[in-house]
Structure 1
Amino acid sequence: MTLDLEQLDATAAVEAFKDGSVAPAAYAEALAGRAAEYSNLNALQSFDPEYLIRTATEAFQAHPEAPLSGLPLVAKDNINTTNYPTSGGTKALLDHTPTNDASVVKRIIHAGGFIGAKSRMHELAFGITSNNAITGAVRNPHDSNMIPGGSSGGTAAAVAAGIFPAGLGTDTGGSCRIPAALCGVIGFRPTTGRYAGDGVVPISHTRDTVGPLARSVRDIALFDGVLSGDTSAVAEAKLAEFTIGVPRQMFYEDLDPVVAQAVETQLSSLSSQGAKLVEVSFEPIWPHNEAFSFPVVFYEVMRDLPAYLAKHAADVTFEALVAGIGSPDVAGAIDSQLGDDAMPEAAYRAAMDIHRPEMRRIYGKVFEDHGIDAIVFPTTPLPARPIGGDETVDLNGEQAPTFPTYIRNTDLGSNVGAPGISLPCPVTSDLPVGIEFDALPGQDRSLLALAGAAEKAMTQ
């Protein structure tokens, strides 16, 4: 077997290890070469080629029949690992090596895989550009002058460039799906709570989740099974089995022409191959979404981050962490919560007790009223933009705020706790575009079945 590292997915790699056509060490050596070749992307924070090659053989020999036997993965640098430091992309934690792996890492190891490197990220996961003043900007493999998205930008860039077959990111408001869309890979946000969340540098325990990034839906299904323990089969489905909602309001408004054309072309393709598309609207949900999204993040981060430090990095104080933040956008966000303007508890309680239940009710009712299995929309309103545009980006001739513009379409699913998956959308332009499918909370495996059918339709 030839090692086409841009195309070979994780499933095929493990199959090759097991049938003897590729040695795990040879595969790992090829990945190490790829990492050196694409070092300009600045995707990796911690990486030891010798460890990678040695551990590939050891992991395969220890678990020869396991689902990830011998497979190296890259993990975002806010997920605790004992073999590499876990910095959260911030100065105070650069030398912080946890004493315990995060539970998701333990599951990877139990399934025969291992963490071969840690990836760079937006500082403290508090942004979508991965332009980090402490560790440097991660670059998009399709154009090194462009952002890869974030905050899991290093994982997405490493997977897209063939440095690793797949990896782990985290997603609070879109941090797996946005970089997947901008780098041309697949990013999955599971139903909130589906994967264990311990041992992760947090933003919000209500909204955070680990999520896999990969180059095929079958790989995402493989990792979802490992990380969740859900061994139910992902059905081989046909598009004609699905009714999909198209929420034109908000999701399809003010799109970059490249995104609009690519997504509309794929909607036509999905329809022509049997999917039933119906127009839906979430209009009543938006005031609740606004009252929930940032209040929960700002209130919880000021409590969850100190709690993480106390448990996993007791020698680092919260004050030292804040003082060491280097990225202006992240420093501004955290500083805004240190004084009299901090998010009040009353706004947080209203978000949790009033707005979240109402969002979930409206979201579920739209699905029920229209008999839909999922909704479909552009993952982001625009493709990647140049590195350095952390405050504003150009969208249709106007300067739009970077962060809220990129998370506009991914935010709602995060807030209702729904699973969502971003797939690469075939384009004629140089930069990738993502198309996302979101389902009801708990419908992760059926969403992956739909994604598998859509993946086939969009590559024919």
Structure 2
Amino acid sequence: VAARDADKARAAGSVAPLLGVPLGVKDSYLTKGLPTSLGLGGLAHFVPREDADAVRAIKGAGALVFGKNNLVEMSYGLTGHNARYGQVKNPFARDRVSGGSSSGSAASVAAGIVPASLGGDTVGSIRVPASLCGVVGFKPTTGRWPRNGVAPISHTLDTTGVFARSVEDCALMDQVVTGEMAAEPSGRGYDAKGTRLAYAPRQVLDLVDPEIEGRFREVVRRLRDAGAEVVEVDLGDDFGALTQTATWSIFFHETMGAISEFLRRHDIPTTFEEIIEGLKPELRDTWRHVVLPEGAGAISAEAYQTALAVSRPEIQRRLDEVFVARGVQAILQPTTPCTAPLIEQQTNFQIAGRQVSHLTLANHTVLASSVGLPGISLPAGLSRGGLPIGLELDAPLGSDGTLLDLARRIEGVLSAG
């Protein structure tokens, strides 16, 4: 029916920017008249009476909601496993994970089912699956895109965003959702002249697969060959620990309050306690340990306040030394430290010969998440085994238009090679 209506509108002269375009929507977004499960079995038949603000925006631009995308339960995971609705498989290799938590959104774009899908990103839930599935994943500056009507984890860190097959399509979606005109393309095509980029090898190359490091250094060489100035910076020996501790502390401490408020505000027919009881056992154990205030690993109010009032300003200060003092437009890093792990080894696997947990997939994406920077993951080629490798660009707060234009140019440099 919606497709027929779009045909009629087009015949009547409509120039809506997304008229008739079928889009995917992560099942954490409320969708009027369509079931919205939040990844939970207990909400399999819940049909909201309202749309999330971002869904309303794409519908207003003529888009059709083609379907809801699978996700990790309550968006709490980085590999794409959902006990009730199934493991999302990687379109490049069905024995590999898709990444998460916006797993179905990334995989549906990578598989060519839809040209773009809405996702959500708190510590890397857009950029991690974008990297592992070989698509573009854009996390705007936190707060730039509306979050109303999207199941939350952390009011400080949550960001809505998009997956697409090109930066141009991400820019169009950004324009539709925010109402802001896109930055005029620089028209420079495949060169990177006049761009000033940075990377921090001691921080972002200390735990990566050798093949990822080799590809990343090759990308840096190609960008320099295309006219970019790429400088090495050092964010400090403790930078990784600082961003990890602050970001995860905020993430875990805010979950219970954020979800409880969301359930109340939108008349979701469940309770926080029922959600915990319905989680898969390993996730239920995690929530009882770090999310519930009485949990043995719960983040104290003092530690939470330290993360907000001390750690985040210090992270921002160090980034400002790069962005402001050194005039850098974006920081480059491998989006994920490895290619997609095997499904059967997704909880623990090896990176560069070291045994790691699935949380390691977000080691690099937490940089932008920690202080709300805009970040974008671009496909940067395939490994020898045919698996996607991602390149992340993180830019100063509020510079989303500049970041998208920069990403267009870098996308051109990468595709030209």
TM-score range (shorter-chain normalised) is over 0.9
CA gap 1:332/1:362 in 2 versus in 1, 3 angstroms:
same
Match for residue 315 of structure 1? 269
Q: 1:442 aligns with which of 384, 398, 402?
A: 398
Q: 1:427 aligns with which of 378, 382, 385?
A: 382
Match for residue 407 of structure 2? 451
Contact 2:6 2:62 in 1 (8 A): no
* Inter-partner Cα distance in structure 2 for 1:314 and 1:117: 20
CA gap 1:122/1:312 in 2 versus in 1, 3 angstroms:
same
Cα deviation code 1:57-95 (max 9, x no counterpart) = 467568820111111100111011113111111122222
Three-state SS of the structure 2 residue aligned to 1:100 is coil
Q: 2:44 aligns with which of 79, 94, 99?
A: 94
Q: 1:151 aligns with which of 85, 101, 107?
A: 101
Match for residue 113 of structure 1? 63
Q: 1:399 aligns with which of 341, 355, 360?
A: 355
* Inter-partner Cα distance in structure 2 for 1:57 and 1:143: 36
Match for residue 133 of structure 2? 183
Match for residue 36 of structure 1? none
Contact 1:389 1:402 in 2 (8 A): no
Instruction: In structure 2, give the amino acid aligned to 1:439.
Output: A
Contact 2:183 2:402 in 1 (8 A): no
Contact 2:3 2:20 in 1 (8 A): no
| Alignment of structure 1 residues 36-435 onto 2, 5 Å | 53-54=3-4, 56-57=6-7, 60=10, 64-236=14-186, 237=188, 238-283=191-236, 285-326=239-280, 328-336=281-289, 337-338=291-292, 339-341=294-296, 342-403=298-359, 405-427=360-382, 429=384, 430-435=386-391
* Inter-partner Cα distance in structure 1 for 2:128 and 2:204: 14
* Inter-partner Cα distance in structure 1 for 2:162 and 2:5: 21
Q: TM-score normalized by structure 2?
A: 0.94
Query: How much does 1:349 deviate?
Result: 1.5
Contact 1:188 1:211 in 2 (8 A): yes
CA gap 1:261/1:153 in 2 versus in 1, 3 angstroms:
same
Instruction: In structure 1, give the amino acid aligned to 2:279.
Output: I
228-237 or 420-429, which deviates more? 228-237
* Inter-partner Cα distance in structure 1 for 2:82 and 2:344: 10
290-299 or 269-278, which deviates more? 290-299
Cα deviation code 1:263-305 (max 9, x no counterpart) = 2221111110101010011115444323311111111101011
How many residues are paired up? Answer: 408
CA gap 1:60/1:250 in 2 versus in 1, 3 angstroms:
farther
Structure 1: segments with no counterpart, 5+ residues: 1-50
CA gap 1:182/1:55 in 2 versus in 1, 3 angstroms:
farther
Instruction: In structure 2, give the amino acid aligned to 1:94.
Output: A
Three-state SS of the structure 1 residue aligned to 2:331 is strand
Contact 2:24 2:69 in 1 (8 A): yes
Contact 1:176 1:189 in 2 (8 A): yes
CA gap 1:378/1:101 in 2 versus in 1, 3 angstroms:
same
Query: How much does 1:55 deviate?
Result: 5.9
* Inter-partner Cα distance in structure 1 for 2:397 and 2:116: 24
* Inter-partner Cα distance in structure 2 for 1:60 and 1:146: 41
Match for residue 3 of structure 1? none
* Inter-partner Cα distance in structure 1 for 2:79 and 2:342: 9
Cα deviation code 1:220-267 (max 9, x no counterpart) = 110111111211423224411211001112211222122122222211
* Inter-partner Cα distance in structure 2 for 1:335 and 1:408: 24
Query: How much does 1:312 deviate?
Result: 1.9
Contact 2:72 2:100 in 1 (8 A): yes
Three-state SS of the structure 1 residue aligned to 2:223 is helix
CA gap 1:271/1:401 in 2 versus in 1, 3 angstroms:
same
Contact 2:288 2:295 in 1 (8 A): no
Three-state SS of the structure 1 residue aligned to 2:404 is helix
* Inter-partner Cα distance in structure 1 for 2:72 and 2:9: 30
Three-state SS of the structure 2 residue aligned to 1:359 is helix
* Inter-partner Cα distance in structure 2 for 1:150 and 1:61: 40
Runs of 4 or more consecutive aligned structure 1 residues displaced over 3 Å after TM superposition: 51-63, 284-288
Contact 1:177 1:410 in 2 (8 A): yes
Q: TM-score normalized by structure 1?
A: 0.85
Q: What is the root-mean-square deviation of aligned Cα atoms in Å?
A: 1.7
249-258 or 102-111, which deviates more? 249-258
Instruction: In structure 2, give the amino acid aligned to 1:410.
Output: T
Three-state SS of the structure 2 residue aligned to 1:371 is coil
